[in-house]
Structure 1
Amino acid sequence: MEKEFLQDNIQESDNLLTAKRVLISAGIILGSVGCFLLSSIIGSKICKFLDISGYKAQFICALITLVFYSTILALLHKKKVLYTKGNGFFGGLITGFFMIYGSVTSILNALFLETSDNKVKIVTPTGLNFGSEQVWCILALLFAAGICEELLFRGIIFNVLRDLFGRDSTKGTIAAIFTSGVLFGLYHLLNIFAGVSIDAVIPQVISTAGVGVFLAAVYARWGNIWITVFLHAFMDICVVLPSSMKNNADIVESINTTMSDPSKYLGVIIYVGIAIYLLRKEKLPQMFTYSVCDD
């Protein structure tokens, strides 16, 4: 009887500990997203006071967000995320090469292909603009999408989930990869409040969930956040910049133009499929050869 009582107490204690860890992890994730919203509000008020708008304003908001995320990493004792080389950089780019290929294809299609009467023809682009607004476009996407979103979803959220599910466990790491990817997709629902149409947001949410799984798989294998920063920023620049060069479109107009295509739904299948291939059995040990925790 006493033995059974002790076992019940131990199990109850373990359940309470697990529940506490889940609540703490959820709090960190929600708090991190809350910091994004707070930094956006602060940045918007500063930009409104200084009469700054467009991509320049988004760049300023991203700098404020970067301060918040860097602080969170420090509080989590994971500053090492910012500078660890992991398993290397260029090898990670090769692993993520499909995203580079897709990004280059996207910008070439946007600039040099035109669809008319269900026929695709090659055209010479005319009337393209490349001035200060396009420079701010590149900087805004580099910092807001590339650096800040990667620090949030791969640097903070993925690592928090990996600690929760089991950092030294293959199943735990894979669970963190897929969970953080889904959260990355859902995060883009916030674009509705920025004015993006529902017809563009839904394909974006679904396709970016696949991209999130892919980027998390690359990061899990290589442990170098700057690989996914490069891949993410390069992709967004290649997708958004052509609209800015053609029509001086802002980010909302660019998303509405590029993401309303139903073919975007294929992205989740392609990127998740590649992520599963990247996580094949012989490559799994690579996920356990580096550390992101401060010494």
Structure 2
Amino acid sequence: MYRVEERMFKEQAYRYFLFGILAIAVSFFLSDWILWEMAKHANLSGDIREILGEVFRLAFLIAIIFAGHMQSRILASDRESFAHGLLTGLPILAIAIAQLVLSFIQADPGYFSHTELVVSTIMIYTLTGIFEELLFRGVVLNAFQDAFAKKSAKTIWVSLILSALTFGLMHLTNLASGQDGVGTLMQVIEATAAGLCFGAVYLRCRNIWVVVILHALTDLSQSIGTNGQTAVDVQNTNVNAATSILSILPSLVILLGLTLFLLRRSKMEAIVSTNQDDFV
């Protein structure tokens, strides 16, 4: 019986890994090539190209999920798990909303007169939140979990850390777009910490749409805060970021602290049990 279950887990893991690698490779690299070709024949703005890229990546990923028969596990949602997830992720939600409000207050008033810019920013980061959570929490985290036939607190932590590292390291691709090395390193570190926290919420509620909301709101609040700054503010921010990694220390402490709190020992037994039940 154990060997049958072990084989089932491994086959499931291989399928998730296969489709996950395919989704990452095609979604990121093929979409960039297609949009580059489109830009040569059509006068598309940078925001339109980015929106089209996110739409393509998301559509392809959803097709991959259905082709791999993973939709019942990844896309499943009900009111109870959604409400539980929002309550579990309430600290993240509160921080994101507070940052969003603060960004609106501190933003250059002229920023909001550019309606197209504001709308495109909202669309881009909403689509990004959906895509990245479906991929890194829905596909990748589940793949790492399924790689272990026997579920335990240790294997849950290993799966979470590996999926968060994958999420963080994917931000190295920003180097190709001309982002500086220090800024990219800071983004990788912060994204890894965010991946741990989002993954912890997902493990607690098993509802992908909760972490989609948390992710999208977090990214949106940071984006509006940056885009809405004056040129002097942006320059000062870049100088501070380049001179010291300590600029992201407060957010790292919060994210890692929340992760440890959400996955404390008293909650881990239920998480392990839920992961076992996925294959009953």
TM-score band, normalised by shorter chain: 0.7 to 0.9
Query: What is aligned with 1:181?
Result: 164
Tell me if the contact between 1:222 and 1:286 (Cα under 8 Å) persists in the aligned partners. Answer: no
1:110, distance to aligned residue in structure 2 (A): 4.2
Does 1:134 find its partner at 2:126? no
Query: What is aligned with 2:259?
Result: 275
- Higher alpha-carbon deviation: 202-211 or 75-84: 75-84
TM-score by length of 1: 0.76
Tell me if the contact between 1:43 and 1:64 (Cα under 8 Å) persists in the aligned partners. Answer: no
CA distance in 2, matches of 1:158, 1:167: 16
Change (3 A) 1:259 1:185: farther
1:103, distance to aligned residue in structure 2 (A): 2.2
CA distance in 2, matches of 1:294, 1:66: 27
Query: What is aligned with 1:75?
Result: 67
For residue 227 of structure 2, the aligned residue among 225, 234, 244 is 244
Q: Secondary structure at the match of 1:88?
A: helix
1:32, distance to aligned residue in structure 2 (A): 2.5
1:177, distance to aligned residue in structure 2 (A): 1.1
Does 1:41 find its partner at 2:24? no
CA distance in 1, matches of 2:81, 2:155: 23
> Aligned ranges for residues 282-293 of structure 1 at < 5 Å?
282-287=266-271, 288-289=273-274
CA distance in 2, matches of 1:88, 1:23: 27
1:244, distance to aligned residue in structure 2 (A): 2.8
1:74, distance to aligned residue in structure 2 (A): 1.9
CA distance in 2, matches of 1:30, 1:154: 14
5+ residue gaps, structure 2, are 1-6
Query: What is aligned with 1:120?
Result: none
Number of aligned residue pairs: give it. Answer: 266
Change (3 A) 1:290 1:166: closer
For residue 88 of structure 1, the aligned residue among 78, 81, 101 is 81
Query: What is aligned with 2:4?
Result: none
For residue 51 of structure 2, the aligned residue among 49, 59, 71 is 59
Tell me if the contact between 2:103 and 2:221 (Cα under 8 Å) persists in the aligned partners. Answer: no
Query: What is aligned with 1:3?
Result: none
CA distance in 2, matches of 1:87, 1:290: 18
Q: Secondary structure at the match of 2:110?
A: coil
Q: Secondary structure at the match of 2:44?
A: coil
Does 1:213 find its partner at 2:196? yes
1:98, distance to aligned residue in structure 2 (A): 2.3
Corresponding letter in the other structure for 2:84: G
Deviations 1:102-125 (A, max 9, x none): 323434444545xxxxxxxxxx85
Structure showing greater Rg: 1
1:234, distance to aligned residue in structure 2 (A): 0.3
Tell me if the contact between 2:202 and 2:211 (Cα under 8 Å) persists in the aligned partners. Answer: yes
Query: What is aligned with 2:3?
Result: none
Tell me if the contact between 1:25 and 1:164 (Cα under 8 Å) persists in the aligned partners. Answer: no
Corresponding letter in the other structure for 1:153: F
5+ residue gaps, structure 1, are 1-15, 114-123
Tell me if the contact between 2:10 and 2:148 (Cα under 8 Å) persists in the aligned partners. Answer: no
- Higher alpha-carbon deviation: 193-202 or 49-58: 49-58
Tell me if the contact between 2:164 and 2:195 (Cα under 8 Å) persists in the aligned partners. Answer: yes
Q: Secondary structure at the match of 1:147?
A: helix
> Aligned ranges for residues 118-133 of structure 1 at < 5 Å?
125-129=108-112, 130-133=114-117
Query: What is aligned with 2:148?
Result: 165
Corresponding letter in the other structure for 1:194: S
CA distance in 2, matches of 1:179, 1:201: 19
